Each structure stands twice: as C-alpha cells, then as structure tokens.
Chains A and B, each alone.
Chain A
Amino acid sequence: MIEQKEKQVEVKLIPVMNGKLVFAEKQGGTPTNGALLAALKNAGIVEGILESSFSLLARNDVNQVLVARAYYQDEPPYFNVYFGIEPFLDEILSGILKGKPFISFEEKFLVKRNAPLLSIKEPFTKVLKYPDGRIEKHDILNYNKLDIFCGKNSVVYEDSIISLIDGSAHRTLDGRVYVYPVITVKGVGEIHGRVNEEISVKVTEDIHSHSYLDSPSNVFVEGAIHSSYIKTGGSLQALEGIDNTKEVESSKIVSNGMVIAPYIKKYKVSAKGKVVVSEGIHDSLVISHDEVWANFIANSEIRCGNGLITNHIQGNSRIFIGPNYVKDDNLSFFNTQIKLFEKKMASQEFVIKEIKDRLEKEKQTLLGYFLRLKEAGKKRIILDSSIVRLFESIKLSFKNYQQAVDTYQKNFDNYLANKSYLTICKRQLHKIHEPYIKVLGRIEPGVIIATPVHVVKVSKQLEHVLIILDPLTGRLRFTKDFSILKNQQKETSINCEALVQNSMQQT
C-alpha cells in the first residue's frame, strides 16, 4: 500500500523489522526534502522521522536511506480528573444545538482542601512508538514522579494529586494542575486598573468596557464581558455574553482553557481549549486549538485546530480548519527544553568523566604510597604533609563528583518532566479524528472554508453536511454520512463515560 502511493513522488518506502524502521529508495530522480516529507505523511509515517538523513538521497552512490525509526519512550500516566466539565461535554453539545442556555459551571471547578484533583488511571509505562503512529505498550515503570504534574497549591498524596486549599482548579494543556483561591467581586471596570493578582475571579455582575483582567486561574462572570482585555490561565465563562459593541481595539480574550458564553459579538477570542457558544458568534475572530461549538456563526472568522460543530454558518464567514492555523507555543517550547537538557547532560557527562579521571589518579597515587609502605615492611604508617594533602584533595574531588552527579540527575529529571509535558500536550492537541466541520443545518453561499492546501467558497446552500480534512491530501471532503465521524469519536465518548463513572465512584 505504501509503495503504490510513493510512485507519484519517485520514492519507494520500505518498512523493515515489522515497520520499526522505514527506508526510502530512489525510483528514478532524486526527491526533494519536501517531496520526501510529503511521501512519509501520505504513508502515515509520523513518528521518529530522521530529516537529517534526507539529503543523503541526493548522492549518486546512495539509493536507500533510513528515514524513520521506532523508539521506546516513557509514556506519562493517564489520569482521572475530579473537576471540570469534561464529563458533561456531550450534554452541553446537545444543549447548544438545541439553543438551550447555559447554567454556570463555576461549581464544577471548585475544590475543597485535601480533595483529590487527579488520580492515576494508567501509570508511567514503557511504550514502543512505531513510525506509523502505532503504540505498543510494554512494562509498567516502577517510578511515580507525580510531583511534575503539581502546579500551585497542589501536592502528591499516594497515587493522587490533592488540593492544599479551597479554591478553583484548572489543568493546563501539559497536564499540570493548579488551584487558586477564589475572590468574588461585584463588577470590574476601568477604574480598577490592571487586575493581575494570583487569584481566581468570580464577578457577580458585568466586566465593563476598558477593563483589564489577567488571572492565572478560572474566571466566571455572571453578567457580560464588554470591550475588555481578559487573560485567563484556566477557563472563562460569561453567563450573559461577550461583546465589543464599542469596538475598542484592545478588546481581546486569551484563555489557556475553555471559553463559554451564550454569544460572542465583535470580539477577538483565542483559546487553547474549546470555545463553546450556546447562541451565536457574530462578526468575531475566534481561534481555538481544540474545537468550536456554536449554535450559529455569522460574518465571523473561525480558526480551529480540531473541529467545528454548528447548526448554521451564515453570511461572509471564513472557516480555517486544521492544526496549521493555530500556532501552539507549548510544543516548540517543550521541544526546545528537551534539547537544552540533552545538551546539558552531554556536557555534564564530560565534567563527571574529568572529575572521575582526576579522582582515579589521586586514588592510585595514594594506594601506591600505601603499597610501597607495605612492601617496605613498615607496620606504622607515617603520614607526611604531602600525603595528608593528597587525601584532602581526594575528598574534595569526591565532593565535586557528588555535586556533578546531582546536577546530572536534576537535568535528567527536568528532561523527563518536559518529555511528559510534551507527550500530554500532543495527546490533547492531536485527537483520534481528523479535523472536521459538522453542520447540522445549512451553510449559506459566500462562506469560505479553507485548509492550507484547499480553499472552497460555497456557491450554493449546503444542508446537513460533514466536511473532513483528508489526512493524505490535506483537501476537504464533503459528505452527508455523519457515521464516519461517530466511528472516529467513539473512543473519546467511552473515555468520558468511564471518567464520569470513576468520578461518581470516588464521590
């Protein structure tokens, strides 16, 4: 199957060792690096790609090069999460499509002191990652470094992470969990200046125009948000909507979690989690790394990494679908950190070796002295000052050795932590299904739908349509068969049910 696809780009992919290694073989001309990458993508090769070896294929004397290889990895745990609205998402989605208003979800994020936030569902496991994305589970690893997932006010207790305070909890994309105390205020306005305290905020009325609120946690607004700049480390809910009817340029919402509101009007909203709107999105720019759910979309630009579910898309809306439209800083940050700690460990190995060599030399000198004394038949050891100095020097070198090994261990711990964060980010961002647009009602003429390689302007009304991004070609596929998506999403909903059951059992 792989070979047939590759003929178009004059390269043949040869899997060996049951697909653990993949070689590329020239078929006529020399493929460019881009063509080779495309060929790998088309064949579903996504892991362990060795881009550095691509250039070898340009050589006349080289016909085959290794382009991907399997590798083992420590897979971080899967957790049961005891807060948030993940278990209720199906219910919320069906409510949105029926136009049902939201209730406040604030309570779902509130946790008590000593209450569990996360508990282990599957522990750290050694897995084998194949180039084609298959994952083969091996042994369960006998270490339990859960503290890397503890954020502010949370701590490890047995196989769980618990809260140290009463407060509002949120979990970031990298899997860390944080709890912040909640402060309740009547309203927020320009008069309050820049509000950027380490707290979760509950606003019982509105956030008025020209406000500035930056919270590392969740923000719940029982009224509406008007023309303000809001940044949240967790989720944001505005019960009466988000609008920028005054058209203030600095109005923006940046959320590391979900954004939930009955409507979004003339606003710029960017969220790492879902954007969930029970009525409509009007004249706005909405960016979600995950999915956008809205009853209808009118005259807006939507950029979503994973998908869009709506009843209607109206007017001159533009929908950009696929991970290429949402830049994720987390992935590149963690990749850089991993490389940094790899470099640090490599240089630390030299330091350790150098100290060890010095220590060995000093040890040999000292032992040689004792040996000479023994050979001379002297029973009493005479310690002259040079020998005492040598012993002191050994002790100092030994201390340096210990410090160097400790530094190495710390770098390794950081390396492992960053690898775990990266893996969890990838889990969250790359769901089991391909990016899609699901429209249960109609798409009006004039709507533009785009992927990086395919742009479609809808010329006549479409009804009840599912648009999927084809993983092989990157083009859009239109279908009325919604069951394709159901099959793909099955695993997610099972997991959600399991999560609900687990949470219920725990409570």
Chain B
Amino acid sequence: MAAKILIIDNDESTLQLFIQVAGALNLDYQIIHNWIRTTAIEDKDNVQVIFVNVEFKSLDLQLLLRQFQKQSHDEKQVSVFYLFSKSFNRSYLAAKRFPHAGELKKPIKAEELFDALNSCLDLEKQINYPEENYRQKIQQFHAYYSVTKELINKLEAYFD
C-alpha cells in the first residue's frame, strides 16, 4: 500500500516544497487548495499524513479530523500536522485544542518537513529503486497471466 499525503493549503512556496519532497520520496500526494465539506479525496484509505493550513476560514477542522479518524484501534491513526504563519491567529489557537501530530510554522524548511514525515513514515523504504519497480511490474504481469491461463484451461473443457 503506497503511503499518501494530503496537503490542504494554497501557498505556492509551501506547495512547491511538498511537491518536490513527495516526488523525491515517491510518495503519492493530493493537493487541496481549499477545503470544503464535499471535497473529493481519491484513495482516501491510503492517506497516512495530512498537512493542513489551519488558518483557512472555510475549514471545518473537526469535520476533517472526523473524516480521517480510523474506527478500529488496531489501525494506525492518520498523522495531522498544522501549517500556520501567525502564532496568534484565532483559527490556529482554536485548532490547537484538537489532537495533532505536530505544527509547522511558515516559511517551512525542508529539514522541518522531513522531521515531520520521518516521525510518521518509514522514509528509507521510499527511496527510488527503478530496477525493483520494473521487477514488481513484471511479477504483476505474470500473476495476471497465470490466473487468466488457469481460467482459459478450465473453459477449454466446456468448449471442447
């Protein structure tokens, strides 16, 4: 299962840093420029980390957290990091009451972002290994080949 990170922000310099880091570590990511209740999130179950700008006025943080809360205690909970630029911002102060994994003050530095990701993901596993990626694809092709061959052999009996 590929780790996915969700970024809810519209600040271009922050987004650029996230895009580069996600690209470098082969992390799947989705950027949401502004959060509304009906925002569609692809592959929601794979989201493991959320970076959210808590200063968005339209953001209903409580609702967002509830959406990603895992029902089972055995499952690893999604790590939520707050992004903010003013430490006296009312929304930020209000958000602090909710459980979260950490906070990143803007402008965000690469080291801080890595520390945050490192605390909740195994980043070593994400390092690029192109040969292995190809080998895995070939394995998948062969697996599908075997299943289909078996089915065709079974059907042959009917058509003979």
The chain A residues found within 8 Å of chain B, CB to CB, are 14, 16-17, 20-21, 23, 25, 53, 56, 59, 61-66, 69-74, 126, 128, 345, 349, 352, 356, 359, 363, 366, 381, 383, 388, 391, 394-395, 398, 401-402, 405, 408-409, 412, 415-416, 419
Complex A-B: 13 CB contacts under 8 Å: A14-B110, A14-B111, A17-B123, A20-B127, A53-B20, A62-B17, A64-B17, A66-B20, A356-B144, A381-B158, A405-B141, A408-B137, A419-B131
**Most chain A beta-carbon contacts within 10 A, residue among B16, B23, B118:** B16
Given the known A-B contacts A65-B20, A405-B142, A415-B134, are A72 and B128 also in contact in the complex, defined by CB atoms under 8 Å?
Answer: yes
**For residues 77 through 111 of chain B, which have their beta carbon under 8 Å from a beta carbon of chain A?**
107, 109-111
With CB as the reference atom, state the residue of chain A lying closest to B128: A71
A372–B124 Cα distance when bound, in Å, is 51
Closest 5 CB pairs of A and B: A72-B129, A61-B13, A23-B110, A66-B20, A71-B128
What is the total number of residues of chain B having a CB less than 8 Å from a CB of chain A?
Answer: 37
Return the contact of B13 from the options A63, A74, A345 (Cβ within 8 A): A63
| A412 and B130 form a contact (CB under 8 A) | no
Query: 1/0 contact trace for B110-131 toward A, CB 8 Å?
Result: 1100100010000110011111
| A71 and B127 form a contact (CB under 8 A) | yes
A409–B155 Cα distance when bound, in Å, is 28
Main SS of the interface on chain B? helix
Return the contact of A61 from the options B12, B24, B144, B155 (Cβ within 8 A): B12
| B159 and A383 form a contact (CB under 8 A) | yes
Given the known A-B contacts A65-B20, A398-B149, are A128 and B127 also in contact in the complex, defined by CB atoms under 8 Å?
Answer: yes
| B114 and A401 form a contact (CB under 8 A) | no
Query: 1/0 contact trace for B41-75 toward A, CB 8 Å?
Result: 00000000000000000000000000000000000
With CB as the reference atom, state the residue of chain B lying closest to A18: B124
Kindly state whether residue B138 has any CB partner on chain A within 8 Å.
Answer: yes
Shortest distance between the CB of A357 and any CB in chain B (Å): 12
A409–B142 Cα distance when bound, in Å, is 10
CB-defined contacts of A20 to chain B, threshold 8 Å: 127
| A21 and B24 form a contact (CB under 8 A) | yes
Shortest distance between the CB of A105 and any CB in chain B (Å): 38
Shortest distance between the CB of A268 and any CB in chain B (Å): 41
**For residues 7 through 29 of chain B, which have their beta carbon under 8 Å from a beta carbon of chain A?**
12-13, 16-17, 20-21, 23-24
